[in-house]
């Protein structure tokens, strides 16, 4: 397959952002584009969540909401990929336009609103593929659902036996009231219910790890509450973080004031700071996945040194194409060797020691 190189990216840039996104998905789904995966450097292999990762660089949720291109993303060099966020019932999401490129800032703003074809179609696609490579399933709630935890339970019940790990997204800023689930009482209730659902569905079978995805816009109190609840409930991990509603003064792009979640380069520092604090609060006793602003091996290494065992990318793919995974892997391996680490696990949290 040919790389999504500068020429292909330039062509996509002539399209509105959401149209370009769908065009990229179509091309990946039908084998029209991609990148030749480079061999994984042995230094990048790591054991996390009871799973063996050939490398710690993953594709974050949001790109492939309907599990259409999970194998295509694995084939371009990612160590794992996460499909979703998917809701129990199909929903169109928010009115268009709802996706904006902030090219001058290497950033994206979206207010998509959990648009997906629903978990039944999502589950059928996962069930039809061969179980190779590590694939996560990320679930959310429908906009109109009052008992949000019930939607997460419904999603987990549908995908628990089809994915290698599970994620509850409770931090998107684009579904009204969703981020309130990050408060202590709601998140504790949610985690207990989804853990029970997973255990019920997987009785007698190997249980996939279950994680929650939280945002970077947390207060000190919220971070402490989330850390304590995560440890108390026995959830397997946290993904930190989602998009931010903050708008740094450094933004230059004309669409900077659009409503929605900001991702990309401006998110790197605040999301990594939040990650480091939750690592400190949990004492490294729970698996953390670092997400937000990663565009290079140095960025990934910063997440790992802050406490992440795995790292996810998304927005940088918009600007750099599918060769991104291979480049990040090369650079990360060089960072590890430069500092004398022989494996990723030894570097996790090293910036806080």
DSSP string, 82-95: EEEEE-SS-B--SP
Q: Which residue has the tokens 């992440």?
A: 308
Query: Residue 302 domain-assigned?
Result: yes
Catalytic residue among 75, 116, 171, 172: 172
Q: How many domains, the chain?
A: 1
Contact present, 60 and 312 (Cβ < 8 Å) = yes
56: closest CA among 71, 36, 41?
41
Other CB atoms within 10 Å distance of the CB of residue 138: 27
Contacts of residue 353, Cβ cutoff 8 Å, sequence gap at least 6: none
172 is a catalytic site residue: yes
Contacts of residue 28, Cβ cutoff 8 Å, sequence gap at least 6: 34, 68, 69, 72, 73, 322
As a whole number of angstroms, the distance between CA 352 and CA 283 comes to 10
The pLDDT of residue 3 is 44
Query: Residue 300 domain-assigned?
Result: yes
Rounded to the nearest 5 degrees, what angle is found at the Cα of 294, between the Cα atoms of 125 and 191? 55
In which residue ranges of the chain is pLDDT below 70? 1-10, 34-35, 173-182
- Print the domain residue range for 45: 36-352
Query: Residue 321 domain-assigned?
Result: yes
Query: Residue 9 domain-assigned?
Result: no
The pLDDT of residue 46 is 98
Contact present, 72 and 53 (Cβ < 8 Å) = no
The pLDDT of residue 125 is 98
Query: By three-state DSSP, how is residue 308 classified?
Result: coil
CATH value at residue 207: 3.20.20.70
Query: Residue 25 domain-assigned?
Result: no
Query: Residue 28 domain-assigned?
Result: no
Contact present, 156 and 191 (Cβ < 8 Å) = no
Query: Residue 283 domain-assigned?
Result: yes
Residue 130 is classified by DSSP as -
Q: What is the pTM of this model?
A: 0.94
The pLDDT of residue 13 is 75
The pLDDT of residue 27 is 86
The pLDDT of residue 1 is 38
Quote the mean pLDDT of the chain: 92
Query: Residue 287 domain-assigned?
Result: yes
Q: What pairing do the DSSP bridges indicate for beta strands 80-86 and 135-139?
A: parallel
């Amino acid at each position: 397959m040919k790389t999504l190189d500068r020429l292909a990216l330039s062509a996509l840039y002539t399209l509105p952002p959401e149209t370009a996104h769908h065009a990229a998905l179509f091309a990946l789904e039908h084998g029209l584009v991609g990148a030749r995966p480079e061999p994984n450097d042995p230094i990048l292999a790591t054991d996390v969540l009871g799973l063996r990762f050939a490398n710690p660089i993953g594709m974050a949720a949001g790109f492939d909401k309907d599990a259409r291109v999970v194998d295509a993303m694995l084939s371009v060099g990612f160590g794992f990929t996460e499909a979703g966020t998917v809701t129990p019932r199909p929903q169109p999401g928010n009115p268009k336009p709802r996706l904006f490129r902030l090219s001058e800032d290497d950033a994206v703003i979206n207010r998509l609103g959990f648009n997906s074809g629903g978990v039944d179609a999502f589950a059928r696609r996962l069930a039809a593929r061969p179980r190779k490579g590590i694939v996560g399933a990320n679930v959310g709630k429908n906009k109109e659902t009052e008992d949000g935890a019930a939607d997460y339970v419904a999603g987990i019940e549908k995908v628990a036996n089809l994915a290698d790990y599970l994620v509850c997204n409770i931090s998107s800023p684009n579904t009204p009231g969703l981020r309130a689930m990050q408060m202590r009482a709601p998140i504790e209730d949610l985690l207990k219910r989804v853990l029970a659902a997973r255990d019920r569905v997987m009785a007698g079978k190997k249980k996939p790890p279950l994680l929650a995805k939280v945002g970077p816009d947390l207060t000190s109190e919220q971070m402490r509450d989330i850390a304590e609840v995560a440890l108390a409930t026995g959830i397997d991990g946290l993904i930190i973080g989602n998009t931010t509603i903050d708008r740094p003064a450094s933004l230059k792009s004309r669409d900077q004031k659009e409503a929605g979640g900001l991702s990309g380069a401006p998110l790197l520092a605040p999301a990594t700071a939040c990650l480091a604090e939750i690592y400190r609060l949990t004492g490294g006793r729970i698996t953390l996945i670092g997400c937000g602003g990663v565009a290079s091996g140095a960025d990934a290494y910063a997440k790992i040194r802050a406490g992440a065992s795995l790292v996810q990318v998304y927005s940088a793919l918009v600007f750099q194409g599918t060769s991104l995974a291979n480049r990040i892997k090369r650079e990360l391996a060089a960072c590890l060797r430069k500092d004398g680490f022989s494996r990723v696990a030894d570097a996790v949290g090293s910036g806080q020691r």
